[in-house]
Each structure stands twice: as C-alpha cells, then as structure tokens.
Amino acid sequence: MKTAHRQPLLTIVLAAGKGTRMKSEMPKVLHQVGGLPMVGHVLKTATASGSTNTAIVVGPGMTNVSDAATKLNPSAGVYVQTQQLGTGDAVLAARDAIASHEGDVLVMFGDTPLIRPETVARLVGALDGGAEVAVLGFHAKDPTGYGRLITDGLVSDGVANLLSIREQKDATTAERQIDFCNSGVIAFRTKDLLGCLNRIGANNASGEYYLTDVISIMRADGRRAVAVAGLEVEMLGVNSRAHLAEAEGVFQRRARDAAMAGGATLIDPATVWFSHDTVIGRDVLIEPNVFFGPGVSIGNDVTIHANSHLTGAIVEDSAELGPFARLRPGARIGKNAKIGNFVEVKNATFEPGAKANHLAYIGDARVGSKANIGAGTIFCNYDGYFKHKTDIGAGAFIGSNSSLVAPVKIGDGAMIGSGSVITKDVAADSLALARPVQESREGWAGKFRAMMTKKKASAAK
Ligand code: UD1
Ligand code: MG
C-alpha cells in the first residue's frame, strides 16, 4: 500500500439516503456485511487510507447511524442533511467541515463497503499530477444504474481525462453503452470546493442535486478532472437486498482467502462464514459449515469440527471444538481444552485441558484446568431474575446428567455423582451425591414375571 497521503485528508461519508430499494425500516447503511454495518466498512477504509478527519452525513433522526459511526470513529463529525435532495446536497450538509479544513477532501458513499484502502490511497495520490478532482471508476459488466464516466479517451498510467459524469436516468442511448462507471468515491484538491458545490443544480431527470455534476462545473472553469480505474469487485454500491448478498459474497471470499493465506486449512472454504473482525491463527483446521459471528479470535493449531457456531469467543492454542459446538459471547476456551458435540458455552472460561465433550450447557462459569464435565450436565445459571456463577475447581469430575444450581462452587478434584442436582458448595476432593438412593430387591423381577405369565394364561382360557 502507498504511504498515507501528505495533505491532511477530510473524508465525508454520505449516509443520509433512506435506501428505499432495500424495503427496510432500517437505514440502508446499517445493513451488515460480515457482521459490520456497511458504513462501518467505509469508515474503516477511510482511516486506513490516511484520512485525518471524518464527517458523516445522516438523515434527520438517524441517530442509529450516527451512533454506529461514532462508536467506530469517536472523532467523526456528524452532519444532518435535512432533506434527501441528492448526493450534491448531502456533501453540502457538511459545509462547515469543508470550510474549516485545509487539505484534500474525499467523498465516499456509505453503501459501498468493499473498496480497499490501497485503492482509495491510489485515487488521492492521483491528485499529485495536478488534477483538482479525481473520480474512482471501474469497468462494469452491467453498468445499469451507475453514473457513466465520459472521458476524452486519453489515458496515461491508468488515469483518464474526465469530462463529465452522466447519471443513468439522464444518459442518451449512446452514453448508456459506456461501461466506465462512477464508484462514488471522489477526491478533491481545490481551493474553492464549496464554490463549485454551490453551483450544482437539480435540472435533471430525478430533480436531484447530483454530486457528479461537479465535474462539468469544474471543467467549465478550466480545472483538471481525472478518472482512476479500479476493480469492479470493489465498487459494488448496495441498493437492494440482492446487492447486499452479492457484497457479502465478495467479503466472504476475501475473508476465506485471508484465513488460508494466514495458514488455516478450510476443507470446503465456501461453507465457512467469517465476520469482519475474525482472527484465525496458523495451522487451524476448519471443517465444513462453520460460522464465525463477530468478536471471535482463534489461536494456533486449533481444530474446529463441522457445523460449529461461534460468536464473541476466544479460543486458545490447540483447543478442539465440535462437531456442533456453540460458543456464545464471553466463552474463553483455554489451551488443549475440548468442547464437543452439542455443547453450548456462554460467558464461561475453560482453563487449559478442561473438557465438556457431549450435550451440555455451561453458562456464567469457570471450569478449572483438566476438569471434566460429563454428558448432559447443565449449569443452572438463571433463576428467572438474575444470573449466577458456577465455579469448578481444577481436576474436578462432574458426572453425567448433573444439574449445578448456581451460585455454587465445586472444589479442586471433587467428584459429583451422575444425575445429581447440586445446590450447595462441594469441598475439594470430596464426592457429592444428590440423587435418590438406589433400592434393589433381589429376585423381585423373576417373581413378578412368573406371576403375570400365570395370570395371562388363566385369562386366555
Ligand atoms: C450514485 C452516483 C452514481 C454512482 C453510484 C455508485 C450520484 C448522483 N450518483 O448513484 O454516479 O455510479 O452512486 O454506487 O451521486 N445519499 C445521501 N443523501 C441523498 C442521497 C444519497 O446521503 O440525498 C447517500 C446515500 O445514503 C448513499 C449514497 O449517498 O450512501 C449514494 O446514494 P444512492 O441513492 O445509492 O445513489 P446511486 O443511485 O447509487
Ligand atoms: Mg447506491
């Protein structure tokens, strides 16, 4: 990647559009790709490509969008576009940020989550050649719906002279044949950006203020505009649920490639689903149909068997999970620990070498090193009002089908007889049995059978 750009860089992220085509109660840019709202991807890219200031433009009442944005970038300035009059009007909602900024200005769209930081850095770098505006373009297989980049055909070093941008609705049949499209990312290095933006009108098919009109306005002044070509796969602007699924597909392919490049084996990569922040170590084996929700970190040499679902979990080196393991937020699986089939772990730490191999629920707990949780054990952590903690000492053995009613402490090396309902603490190295005492009656079954057989025979006569 190119080093961060020399000039201070203000990035304005447009996120005020309602996204009507999504048919959703939720603002478009909050729809997620890889478990992160699309606008979050854009903010991350802005920072990674050398942005020094960030402004986000939201619609009235879109506090959920501004909250999501400031959570990721607490210093981002929030600007409200009162009416959704188009992208040109949206940029002007951040006029105060532009007026007080000395340096380059970058505009990004909150619905375009796949652009890589190095691509943005290349675009901003293109301003060094003397252009006052640079637009990130791409050659689209199907350009329908995108603004078309009208150039004079002169290209050097992948940079073309840009004359204007024509939106789909306003394009002539001939212009619609152009496959060179606007990604929405535009970089400016100009003294009078606000002056140019203020001249954008709404005399077009949509009656909207198109940011893209700024190109012909600047050209008319004799200012230089260029288009920089990037890869189509990065430029997808999400306008519908189908686009969202497409973006997710691209994100997942990248994540799978990154995991494999980092030294993980994915037996069937297309069936493994990652989040934006999943961390996978080396020599990790991931079997088919594994899902990583947000906040998962996997150490080295871990095996994750098929059909496991992990969210908010830390898994340390050489642990083994699944098949059908479920790790929920706060699960911390120590070195060499084992979480087997149909075992659910929530807010619980397994210390090194601890095991729960079959059919269990472990919530709000510590399981000491090398402790063994038998099949069917339930940690009863919730009384209907509060959650309580269970603490299992090192080397303890919990017999199958036990219920541990929290709060409760099982000492180091203690044993719990199978089928027990444990409501009181158990001291270290002791055995606890909390189940009906077994009663055996010698010969009873034989006598019973003989009596019943006789009864049945006489009834048949
Ligand atoms: C826009 C571009 C088009 C480009 C395409 C790339 C314009 C006029 N058109 O079209 O050239 O090829 O993106 O994906 O710029 N927004 C606001 N306020 C508004 C309108 C939009 O903040 O009043 C925001 C939206 O939230 C969105 C972004 O701007 O994040 C783009 O808006 P959208 O309506 O999706 O524009 P497109 O029709 O996709
Ligand atoms: Mg769009």
Residue 2 DSSP one-character state = P
Please give the Cα distance from 412 to 435 (Å, whole number): 22
Please give the Cα distance from 358 to 399 (Å, whole number): 12
Ligand 1 within 6 A of 164 CB?
no
Kindly state the tokens that stand for 171. Answer: 């394009």
Question: What is the whole-number distance in angstroms between the Cα of residue 239 and the centre of ligand 2?
Answer: 5
Chain mean pLDDT for the chain: 96
Closest ligand (CA of 150): 1
Question: What is the whole-number distance in angstroms between the Cα of residue 154 and the centre of ligand 1?
Answer: 27
Residues linked to residue 344 through DSSP beta bridges, in sequence order: 326, 361
Closest ligand (CA of 171): 1
Question: What is the whole-number distance in angstroms between the Cα of residue 255 and the centre of ligand 1?
Answer: 27
Percentage, residues of the chain above pLDDT 70? 99
Q: How far is CA 259 from CA 117, 291, 326, in A?
A: 19, 14, 21
Question: What is the whole-number distance in angstroms between the Cα of residue 294 and the centre of ligand 1?
Answer: 28
Per-residue pLDDT averaged across 58-77, rounded?
96
Q: Cβ(111)–Cβ(56) under 8 Å?
A: no
Q: Is the model's pTM score more than 0.85?
A: yes
Please give the Cα distance from 417 to 439 (Å, whole number): 16
* Residue whose CA lies nearest to ligand 1 atom number 20: 86
Nearest partner of 123 among 11, 1, 232, 227, judged by Cα: 227
Instruction: Enumerate residues 6+ apart whose C-beta is below 8 A from 270.
Output: 256
pLDDT in tens, 313-322: 999 999 999 9
User: Phi and psi for 135 in degrees, rounded to 5?
Assistant: -110, 135
Q: How far is CA 285 from CA 29, 121, 254, 369, in A?
A: 34, 35, 18, 24
Closest ligand (CA of 149): 1
- When pLDDT is cut at 50, 70 and 90, the band that residue 72 belongs to is very high
User: Phi and psi for 107 in degrees, rounded to 5?
Assistant: -110, 130
**Residue 81 three-state SS:** coil
DSSP H or E run through 410: strand 408-410
Ligand 1 within 6 A of 202 CB?
no
- When pLDDT is cut at 50, 70 and 90, the band that residue 12 belongs to is very high
Is the confidence at residue 192, as pLDDT, over 90? yes
* Residue whose CA lies nearest to ligand 1 atom number 37: 146
Q: Which structural domains are found in the chain, ordered by start?
A: 9-235 (3.90.550.10), 241-432 (2.160.10.10)
Residues linked to residue 339 through DSSP beta bridges, in sequence order: 321, 356
Helix 38-48 vs helix 117-125: crossing angle, to nearest 10: 50
Position in ligand 1 atom list of the atom nearest CA 16: 22
- When pLDDT is cut at 50, 70 and 90, the band that residue 153 belongs to is confident
Residues linked to residue 361 through DSSP beta bridges, in sequence order: 344, 378
Among 11, 108, 109, 216, the mutation site with the greatest number of ligand 1 atoms within 8 A of its Cβ is 109
Please give the Cα distance from 292 to 318 (Å, whole number): 18
**Residue 109 three-state SS:** strand
Q: How far is CA 70 from CA 49, 57, 119, 244, in A?
A: 18, 12, 24, 23
Ligand 1 within 6 A of 237 CB?
yes
- DSSP string covering 133-179, please? EEEEEEE-SS-TTSPEEEEEEEEETTEEEEEEEE-GGG--HHHHT--
pLDDT in tens, 400-433: 999 999 999 999 999 999 999 999 999 999 999 9
- When pLDDT is cut at 50, 70 and 90, the band that residue 155 belongs to is confident
The confidence score (pLDDT) of residue 18 equals 84
Residues linked to residue 79 through DSSP beta bridges, in sequence order: 57
The confidence score (pLDDT) of residue 366 equals 98
Per-residue pLDDT averaged across 281-295, rounded?
98
* Residue whose CA lies nearest to ligand 1 atom number 3: 147
- When pLDDT is cut at 50, 70 and 90, the band that residue 2 belongs to is very low
- When pLDDT is cut at 50, 70 and 90, the band that residue 213 belongs to is very high
Per-residue pLDDT averaged across 255-263, rounded?
98
Burial (Cβ within 10 Å: 0-12, 13-18, ≥19) of residue 459 = exposed
**Residue 434 three-state SS:** coil
- When pLDDT is cut at 50, 70 and 90, the band that residue 6 belongs to is confident
Among 84, 87, 212, the mutation site with the greatest number of ligand 1 atoms within 8 A of its Cβ is 87
Q: Is the peptide bond before 143 cis (omega within 30 degrees of 0)?
A: no
Helix 38-48 vs helix 63-72: crossing angle, to nearest 10: 40
Tell me which residues are annotated as active site: 358
Nearest partner of 356 among 372, 342, 370, judged by Cα: 372
* Residue whose CA lies nearest to ligand 1 atom number 11: 147
Position in ligand 1 atom list of the atom nearest CA 111: 30
Percentage, residues of the chain above pLDDT 90? 96
Ligand 1 within 6 A of 84 CB?
yes
Question: What is the whole-number distance in angstroms between the Cα of residue 359 and the centre of ligand 1?
Answer: 50
